C-alpha cells in the first residue's frame, strides 16, 4: 500500500476501496502568497493533491497560465455560466462576487471538484473570507487555514505584484479587504504566518496541518473492519 497515505487513509482505502475528498480552504490578505504556497504544495504532493480553479472576468496577468489557477472568461461567458447554474457564487439574481470592488467578478464552480481527477483526494481552494464562509456552509468538513503576514509586508507585496491596473485606489481597496480578512481570522481552524524569506517554514507548517487532518478519525475510519471475522475468537 502507498507509503504516502496516512494510517487513517489506509484503513478507509482497505475497507471502502476509495478515499473521500478532503477540502482545505486557504484564505488571507491580498499579496500574502497564497498562490505561491499552493503551487509549492502541488509540487510537493503531485499524486494526491489538486486545486480548485476559479472563474473570473478580470484580465490575465503576464505570468499567469490559463486554467492553472483561474478560468479567464468574458463577462458574457461568466453570465452564461451563472444562468446555467455552473457557478457557486453567481446565479440569475447575482452576477458574481466582486472581491476587490474593482468590477472584476469571481466565482468558484458550483461543483467545487469540477475537473479534478478522482485520484486527487486532497483538494485546496484559494478563496477570500466570503468564499471561506460559503464553503463552510456547503462543505462543513472542510478545513480552513488563514495565511497572513505583517501589514507593512503585505503593502510591499501588493506593490510588487505584476499588475498593470494597480493604482492608489486599487491599493486602498485591497488594504481594506486585508483589514476585514484579519478581523475574520478567528473564524478559521488554523492560522499560519507567512514571514518574509521563510516560505519553506510556511509550507512545512501547512503540510503538518494536512497530515494531521488526513489522520483525523472521520466517517469510514473503522479499524475493526480491517480484521478477519474471527480475530477476537478464543481458540
Where does the pLDDT of residue 125 fall: very low under 50, low under 70, confident under 90, or very high at 90 and above?
very high
Task: State residue 101's pLDDT score.
Answer: 57
Is the pLDDT at 165 greater than 70, yes or no? no
Task: State residue 108's pLDDT score.
Answer: 93
Listed in order, the ranges of the chain carrying CATH 3.30.63.10 are 53-111
Task: State residue 15's pLDDT score.
Answer: 93
Is the pLDDT at 97 greater than 70, yes or no? no
- Residue of 76 and 24 predicted with greater confidence: 24
Question: What does the pLDDT look like over 199-225, one tens digit per residue?
Answer: 999 999 999 999 999 999 988 899 999
Give CA–CA dist 217/224, Å, rounded: 13
**Residue 87 pairs with which residues in a beta bridge?**
109
Task: State residue 116's pLDDT score.
Answer: 95
Domain 16-52+118-216 has CATH 3.40.50.620: no
Question: What does the pLDDT look like over 131-143, one tens digit per residue?
Answer: 899 999 999 999 9
Where does the pLDDT of residue 190 fall: very low under 50, low under 70, confident under 90, or very high at 90 and above?
very high
Give CA–CA dist 171/176, Å, rounded: 9
Q: In this structure, what are the phi and psi dihedrals at residue 59, rounded to the nearest 5 degrees? A: -70, 145
Q: Which of 123-127, 166-170, 198-202, 210-214 has the lowest mean pLDDT?
A: 166-170
Listed in order, the ranges of the chain carrying CATH 3.40.50.300 are 16-52+118-216
Give CA–CA dist 9/141, Å, rounded: 16
Domain 53-111 has CATH 3.30.63.10: yes
Is the pLDDT at 70 greater than 80, yes or no? yes
Order across the sheet with 70-72: list the strands: 70-72, 54-56, 106-107
Task: State residue 49's pLDDT score.
Answer: 96
Amino acid at each position: 500500500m502507498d507509503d504516502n497515505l496516512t494510517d487513517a487513509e489506509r484503513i478507509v482505502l482497505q475497507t471502502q476501496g476509495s478515499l473521500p475528498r478532503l477540502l482545505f480552504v486557504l484564505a488571507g490578505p491580498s499579496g500574502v502568497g497564497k498562490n505561491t504556497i499552493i503551487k509549492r504544495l502541488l509540487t510537493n504532493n503531485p499524486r494526491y493533491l489538486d486545486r480548485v480553479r476559479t472563474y473570473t472576468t478580470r484580465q490575465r496577468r503576464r505570468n499567469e497560465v490559463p486554467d492553472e489557477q483561474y478560468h479567464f472568461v468574458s463577462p458574457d461567458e461568466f453570465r452564461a455560466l451563472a444562468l446555467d447554474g455552473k457557478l457557486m457564487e453567481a446565479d440569475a439574481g447575482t452576477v458574481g462576487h466582486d472581491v476587490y470592488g474593482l468590477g472584476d467578478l469571481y466565482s468558484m464552480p458550483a461543483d467545487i471538484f469540477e475537473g479534478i481527477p478522482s485520484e486527487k483526494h486532497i483538494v485546496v481552494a484559494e478563496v477570500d473570507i466570503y468564499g471561506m464562509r460559503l464553503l463552510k456552509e456547503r462543505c462543513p468538513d472542510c478545513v480552513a487555514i488563514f495565511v497572513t503576514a505583517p501589514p507593512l509586508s503585505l503593502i510591499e507585496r501588493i506593490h510588487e505584484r505584476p499588475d498593470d491596473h494597480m493604482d492608489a485606489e486599487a491599493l486602498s481597496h485591497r488594504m481594506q479587504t486585508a483589514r476585514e480578512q484579519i478581523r475574520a481570522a478567528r473564524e478559521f481552524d488554523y492560522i499560519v504566518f507567512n514571514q518574509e524569506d521563510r516560505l519553506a517554514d510556511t509550507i512545512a507548517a501547512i503540510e503538518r496541518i494536512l497530515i494531521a487532518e488526513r489522520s483525523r478519525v472521520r466517517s469510514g475510519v473503522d479499524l475493526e473492519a480491517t480484521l478477519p471475522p474471527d480475530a477476537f475468537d478464543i481458540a
